[in-house]
Amino acid sequence: MNDLPDEIQHITEGFVPLNLLISRLAQQTHNQLADEVMTLAKMPPPASIMNGNTANGDSPQDDNSLENLNKKGRLLNFVQERHGEWVKALVICNWGRKAEPVSKLIDLMHHINKTRSIYNTSLDYMINIKRDLTFARIPNPDLNTALQVLSTGQTPWMPDLNYLPPPPMTEEEQMQWIENLNTVLSIRLNLEEHENIPAQFRDFHIGSGRVTFKVPGEFEVDLTVADEDPKAQFWFLDFRFAFQPAPSELSDRLKNAIEFKVNETLANEGLLGCYKFLHEFVLTHKITEYARQAGELGRGRWAGMVAVERLRRSLAIHYWSGRQPHDGPQSYVIIGVSSGRKARSATDQNITSRLCLRWFRDGVEVKGADFPLNQASISTEALLQQVAGKHIEHILTTFHTTLKLQGRFARNEASLAVNMVDDDPGRSELRIQLTREHFLTMTIAPITGAFVTKPQFRGHFDLQGQLNKDVRRPIAEQVALLEKFRCHLVEDELHRRGKGSGWTLCNPHPAKYDEAKQFLGTRGSYVITWLRHRGLPDNWYIMLGQSLSGDQWWLTQVSQSSGNARVATHARLPLIPSMPRYSDRFFVELTFFSSAIMSQIAILEAMHKERIKYVAQQRINPALPPNIKVPSIHVRLSDILGRQYPKEESKKMASWALDFVEINLKDVESRTPRPLGGAITEPGLGRNDESKAAEAAEAAEAAEAAEAEKPRLNMVVDARVKVADPARFGPLKGNVEHDVAFNESIGVFAFTIEADVGSSILDTLAHRLQALSRLAGCIDVIRRSKRDVQCEEITLNRIKFSYTDQPRVEGVVEQQQQKTERWTASLDLGTDKMRIMLGPGRCQVQAMKLLNKVINSKQGFHAVPWVLSVTLPIYRVLDSIASAWEGPALNDQGLVEVDLISVDHYTLRYRPGSAKSDTAEARLTLHIKLRSHNDRPSWHVYREELGPTKRPDDEFQKILQKVWTLDGGPWRCVNSGVVAPNSTGVESLMKATDEAIRPLAMKSPTLLRQPQPKPSPARNVSHNNNNNNNNRNTIATGVGVAGAGTGLFRSHNRSHVYSSSSNNNNNNNNNSTNANRGQDKVKVKGWGSKRRHWLYL
């Protein structure tokens, strides 16, 4: 086709591929054949076949029945028609083999036809021009007639009708004629035509020979009469519009047309017909004016938003055309003429037609919509503003009604207001409170109908664009967009303002939506926001569920189970108000509140796990902010102490206080990072081991550093317990410790406990209460003691008390008791095991070990004050005896050993001569035991030596018998020894005994030699004790003579164990040696108990 010139256009439009044509033809033939077969099957069979008459024999016979002939003819016609179509297809196929020249022929034919058409069109155009020029030709001027008229003033060849002109009227005649005409009009309208004047023509004015009928808002018409006959018609003089905008003067053509029609109507129908004609004419003109102004608006301010459509006499004005798609429902008004008559009502001439307006909002007619049209002023823009204002009112009111039913606005948690301005619809607004500080003002532009939101918040969510994207959405979806925007705004506020307080948004979410939906509720759709604080445990989150029904704040604990995250614990945070102000104070209080609830959950879980009953009560906590309410926990003191002690014992321990402990959260503080330690190395490792250890140490140090630098929050819990007798803790004043305070006026102990947020304080609280119970028990023991024991100073970790060897006498003045020398002791309660500290004294040092063992046993501190007071005389006298022997011991003349077997059993050993020799020397062993006679303490002193002879008959025995049997002494001799009363009696006895024995003990050891068992490092001697059949255990404290310049008492490197037991059946000696130097096991027996306690020294 390249050989064709450029003027010839190549035609490709309308071409159909040959394969498509043949396939369609084949498909059509197949379908038609199938239809034809079905049609032939439905035709009735021949009558011969129906009757069963068939031809016999083998020769075929034609069936010439009508039915068979019809079928054959129908089939033949079908075949012929299809044959013709396929013949055409064959011809086309043959032409298709010459497609290129055929296409060229088509292009040439198209070009020839186009050229011929242009020729014919040009010829027609020239002929039309020639025909139209005939009417544009100006005839030649009549110069002869013009010359005759201008020169002579006559034209003899023109005919003359011989009319006589009327005489001219003077001014007086003209005025008279006008007055007469006014009189005729006045008489006719007021008397003769009064009943026939329409109601709309009641307002008329007569003057200047004419009557002017005025219809307000429509027109004014001037009429007159040409005859005095009352039945003569009125004649039209002038017409004016009585509304704006309208032409001040009518064109001659329009005026002539109105004059002709009005005169005709006056002749036939009178004044009523005249009014109807002019009234309908004015209504039509008003509609035309509305259309004209609408067209100008569509080309001006309302461009693209207004469309005008004339419907015969009516007018349709589409507004907000760009708001809806063309195929969607449109909003428009129809201005037309209504008859004003009601159906099935009588005809009333006073009721005339009027302009009416029908409003279609989004394609649906709004019934009952009343838009009063201004009859005196025609303004399409004002009408559209009025209609748009109603539409805006409908949209904003619908939004307001829908939102008002939602939970947040129904409960007045958020403000919602709609303000309608009829004069200026653009100022009508819907004001919605989004957050505590942010409000959204939504307006609608009257011209475009687009939503306008103010202010424009920053963020990636374009609310205004989303609202205007598809205005056909249901109102529920539009409200959902507002809620979605609010959720985005809240998330942005939380992200921006919470970052500085340690709160961050979690993205992705730690748990799925279905997990949160379980406790949020099934009604409504929620937007979930997860927040996490860097100081809280890793698996605790704040979850905010936002919806139209209200916002919900939840504290959740997320756990991982089989790779799926699920909410293990959840507690709702009742924030007041529910729409808070997202300030720094809010995040501080949120941290405080969440930490408080988290800690309370941990405490309650621990109590539930240990089956401790509790009661949660709402109390006013002055330590918390006023808008944060955390319930206090009340738990029984006996239940807390019962975690480590039996129930009966715990109740006994808790008897000092009322059986309830109140636990309140006091504060939440940031934890100070822990100091990091140095690297830990192990000696004796090779190079490879050292490198591995160094790497492990570095990894451990890095993990420790990360954990130490990780910010954490500590909770400060206030636990209060009220004592039963505040006077018992009288010496405690104010702050007992840095974390313990006591108020004597109300008798309340307050504990301040610090722990990590999310951990339980139950163990710490139990330890503090146990210490307080231990303190109360010790104070009770001291107060109830029958001996002269007094508390001097009391703290939570220490009790300092004084005592004498006298019994307590009721009624004795405290000043008189202070005259007696008092010994002091202190009880340390700061550790898990109590520890008693006695005053200076050699025996007290040994007694402290036994007393510490006893006070930490089940016997406790109950008998310690009594024992200290009772044993004070024996301690004094033993200390004095030891002091008296310091000189001889330094001169190597002898020594004395004081051993404490138990707190009520002591031994006093005298060794004459040198103590450095390992040979057996003569010695004296005195046993001092505390006895009770008639509830009075007394001391039993007797001699008992090691070996088969318990009381050998030697010089020591003679001196003892002499002293013990002395008359006048405050003691009495018994068979086994001597018994002395407490206080001064035992002191006198022991001093007298020591003074009598000392000269003898300082003699040569050879003179006092007595058989001794073979010495060994550790000796176990069995002998018969007639005075005590119970098993006793003696601790040899390794006291000996020290070198020059040292004291009398000295501890050896190894403790020697002497175990004595009585056996009435045999007196065999069983020797056992414990060679363990570093750990010797000692069996200690406490008083009043048959249990034995093992002590590892």
Q: What is the pLDDT averaged over residues 158-180?
A: 85
* Rounded distance between C-alpha atoms, residue 780 and residue 724, angstroms: 12
Label residue 34 by pLDDT band (50, 70, 90): very high
Beta bridge partners of 800: 793, 826
**pLDDT for the residue 345:** 58
pLDDT of 701 higher than 50: yes
Structure token pair of residue 109: 């034919």
pLDDT of 913 higher than 70: no
Q: What is the pLDDT averaged over residues 651-660?
A: 69
**pLDDT for the residue 654:** 60
Q: Over pLDDT 90: what percentage of the chain? A: 19
Half-sphere exposure of 61 (CA within 13 A, CB side): 10
Label residue 760 by pLDDT band (50, 70, 90): confident
**pLDDT for the residue 120:** 94
* CA dihedral of 297, 298, 304, 306, whole degrees rounded to 10: 80
* CA dihedral of 27, 31, 33, 35, whole degrees rounded to 10: -170
- Nearest CA to 894 among 877, 917, 876, 878? 917
DSSP state of 188: I
**pLDDT for the residue 276:** 92
Distances (CA, A) of 541 to 506, 534, 940: 9, 10, 73
**pLDDT for the residue 764:** 82
pLDDT single digits (tens) 494-522: 888 888 888 889 888 888 888 887 788 76
- Nearest CA to 598 among 656, 546, 551, 536? 536
Q: Which of 605-614, 707-716, 990-999 has the lowest mean pLDDT?
A: 707-716
pLDDT single digits (tens) 429-486: 999 988 888 899 999 999 999 999 988 776 667 888 888 888 888 888 888 888 888 8
Q: Over pLDDT 70: what percentage of the chain? A: 79
Label residue 872 by pLDDT band (50, 70, 90): confident
Query: For the CA atoms of the chain, what is the radius of gyration?
Result: 64
Q: Which of 253-262, 773-782, 1009-1018 has the lowest mean pLDDT?
A: 1009-1018
Would you list the DSSP string of 534-600?
Answer: TTS-TTEEEEEEE-TT--EEEEEEEEEETTEEEEEEEEE---SSSS---SHHHHHHHHHHHHHHHHH
Residue appearing with tokens 């109300």: 746
pLDDT single digits (tens) 967-1018: 777 888 887 788 888 767 888 888 888 888 888 766 645 444 444 444 433 3
pLDDT of 145 higher than 90: no
* Rounded distance between C-alpha atoms, residue 73 and residue 70, angstroms: 5
- 746: phi then psi, degrees, rounded to nearest 5: -105, -10
pLDDT of 28 higher than 90: yes
pLDDT of 939 higher than 50: yes
- CB burial string 414-435: b at 16+ within 10 A, e below: bebebeeeeeebbebbbbbbbb
* Rounded distance between C-alpha atoms, residue 446 and residue 427, angstroms: 9
Label residue 1024 by pLDDT band (50, 70, 90): very low
**pLDDT for the residue 126:** 94
Label residue 814 by pLDDT band (50, 70, 90): low
- CB burial string 957-983: b at 16+ within 10 A, e below: eebbeebbeeeebebeeeebbbbbbbb
Label residue 786 by pLDDT band (50, 70, 90): confident
Which carries the bigger pLDDT value, residue 206 or residue 52?
Answer: 206
Q: Which SS3 state, helix, strand or coil, does residue 333 take? A: strand
pLDDT of 152 higher than 60: yes
Residue pair 837/823 in contact (Cβ under 8 Å)? The answer is: no
Which carries the bigger pLDDT value, residue 954 or residue 681?
Answer: 954
Q: Which SS3 state, helix, strand or coil, does residue 434 take? A: coil
- Nearest CA to 1035 among 859, 869, 902, 913? 902
Q: What is the pLDDT averaged over residues 540-554?
A: 86
Q: Which SS3 state, helix, strand or coil, does residue 886 take? A: helix
Structure token pair of residue 908: 């006093």
**pLDDT for the residue 395:** 92
**pLDDT for the residue 234:** 92
Q: What is the pLDDT averaged over residues 234-254?
A: 91
pLDDT of 1085 higher than 70: no
- CB burial string 835-857: b at 16+ within 10 A, e below: bbebeebbbbebbbbbbbbbbbe
**pLDDT for the residue 1066:** 36
pLDDT of 908 higher than 60: yes
As a whole number of Å, the end-to-end CA separation of the chain is 122
The neighbour count for residue 653, using CB atoms within 10 Å, is: 22
| 804, containing H or E segment | strand 798-807
* Rounded distance between C-alpha atoms, residue 318 and residue 333, angstroms: 7
pLDDT of 821 higher than 90: no
Average pLDDT, the chain: 78
Q: What is the pLDDT averaged over residues 1059-1065?
A: 34
**pLDDT for the residue 52:** 57
Q: Which SS3 state, helix, strand or coil, does residue 665 take? A: strand
pLDDT of 76 higher than 90: yes
pLDDT of 1020 higher than 50: no
